Structure 1
């Protein structure tokens, strides 16, 4: 177990919902001597094998690509490569990141049509079905699996097949859910499934990846207008291995490190169970202490969003935790700025000792601010974790 520190370190304990803590074997691997990834055929094979391993993790037979840039580059590349002027795109929105897709598709001339759900729970499949019965003329639809600011989990297992039944291509942002929640890309009819290195996989930020179905490739190739980007043009990648040519120089050290991070997850075998247990215990501790969760239901196992007690400022609370305890939790933005804070229990963060220490620090920080709590969060959390599952 990680020992509590007696003084505030230069680098805080990272308990944010991404980036997450990085294991030592990943950091060491990124420091290894590298080759020229544009010229060395061995690296092309290494890259492709890593993509195959990632595809197996995502439960897909579709092509998977690893791109240079944090998760946003995959989101932007998908919108750039699919959207054309005049296209109608369905934006399924029940969170800050969900609504953000509307701005992305507008950049490329498409018309976003927003289906709004409740902010404090997952999208209602029945309400979406009723909506589609009246209007289903969309080229593709976007949905966020876990909308990180709130931590809401949307039921893509039901939503994506529903969309496909109407001939609508499906684009899923699974950046914050992967590793902590199951992803069955092909079975759930996901055409483009997007992830990133810095959250559940616990590698440094800098890589995004996505699976691209045959239907998605066909849509890109059948465009009436050229893709209005070079860096974000996914078609340039389609035959990279056959041509032994990368559209741009891949960040070789990041990919080396990510392969190790992926192996860490695969070797563990029980990452989903670990995340579920941690998340459930955190929520119970928060509620027993008399605090309130932002969500009413549909919690993701990778992040917990907690309402800031009346009279306190979320940003100030985070700073005090960092200054006094050396622990950095997540703030918020948009309509949740200063009103809610987040504990990121994803990837390497989702360990008993780290979460326990974080809850203890949060308890002390709140009590220093005059908040009277009904229970000791660390104790409740530990009691829940030792129960037989």
Structure 2
């Protein structure tokens, strides 16, 4: 059993949908119809009235495409961060020849709102306002779910476009999509479809900014996807779209609230079991995501991960970067957001720790 925070285990119905013979995405209307239906289902999950698009490419494509589509050389971008992926947005800005300013907080803390507000006010006072700001809803490497509301309030006050990485939260917990200009997701996390697709909900003002920008990239570019009535910008991935469509059917089968509740109960059970074993969470409980739990095992995470893999059929994840050997992560998202599966994974962890 793969109990990682993405890619997640793909359920049988999704694998079967992917294995079917697929229509030619360039010439057969059956694919265009499925694409439209998939986008409609995604809009339900996003809980948004914004346009929703699906691109062929793993979720990182969305992060880079959002920057490439909005940021011209010299444009100022505020990267609000308390994790690896938040920091990484600055790299995309640099690659686009934008001017990134990183406002970073410690990885085990929330956003530094005072620093964010000061950066916005200083930029406005200097006559060099930020065009775009980036945030990460769920920092998967540390299991952190960020409260984006206060930052989004500040961005609204300063008329700054918002780009949010919601890759590992979308479909597992509510996301304030209609307050976000570009809200990014991917197929392989809470949807439990195979890796290979980027999803995005895009506001009207973001589309307008993209049109003014006239992005130089052809592939890492959302603008050609605004209207696909005359065809897609490039050959899409029909098997992946079929898989995502089937996965969305499963996610929406019981209703969105029931899906969120299932994730919350799985997370609660995982943390109860961790407390029984004396495991500390990273970060503190108030910021723990309902889609992934990170236990703090300083210097021991990789050993526990390897022993669980060697002694059972269960695959877990560790942290990233400097925290690689300090954090053990369990991804109770999508198909794995079930108490029974959490118990099975935690039984394996308990056996190793004992």
On whether the aligned pair clears a TM of 0.5, the verdict is yes
Which stretch of the first structure deviates more once superposed, 266-275 or 137-146? 266-275
Q: 1:355 aligned to 335, 338, 342, which one?
A: 342
**Could you tell me how far apart the structure 2 residues matched to 1:362 and 1:344 are?**
14
Q: Give a deviation string over 1:315-355, Cα, whole Å, max 9, x none.
A: 23212111111110012211211111101111111112211
Matches within 5 A, 1:53-72: 53-72=41-60
Asked whether the 8 Å contact 1:152–1:295 carries over to 2, the reply is yes
Residue number in structure 2 paired with 1:387: none
Given candidates 326, 336, 339, the residue that maps to 1:339 is: 326
Q: Which runs of 5+ in 1 are unaligned?
A: 1-12, 368-389
Query: How far apart are 1:148 and its partner, in Å?
Result: 0.4
The normalised TM-score by structure 1 is: 0.86
RMSD: 1.5
Q: What TM-score comes out, normalization by structure 2 length?
A: 0.94
Q: 1-side partners of 2:183 and 2:142: how far apart?
A: 20
Partner residue, 1:86: 74
Structure 2 CA distance for aligned equivalents of residues 46 and 349 of structure 1: 26
Deviation at 1:286, TM superposition (A): 1.4
Q: Using the TM superposition, name which of 137-146 and 272-281 deviates more.
A: 272-281
1:216-365 aligned within 5 A:
216-223=206-213, 226-241=214-229, 244-269=230-255, 270-296=258-284, 297-309=286-298, 312-365=299-352
Q: Runs of 5+ in structure 2 lacking a partner?
A: none
Query: Which residue is 1:206 aligned to?
Result: 196
Q: Look up the match of 1:380.
A: none
The equivalent residue for 2:162 is 170
Alpha-carbon distance between aligned partners in 2 of 1:172 and 1:49, rounded to the nearest angstrom: 24
Kept in 1: contact 2:5–2:331 (CA 8 A): yes
The 8 Å contact of residues 108 and 228 in structure 1, kept in 2 or not, is answered as no
Shift of residue 237, structure 1, vs aligned partner: 1.6
Deviation at 1:152, TM superposition (A): 0.9
Does the Cα contact within 8 Å between 2:269 and 2:339 map onto a contact in 1?
Answer: no
Alignment size in residue pairs: 347
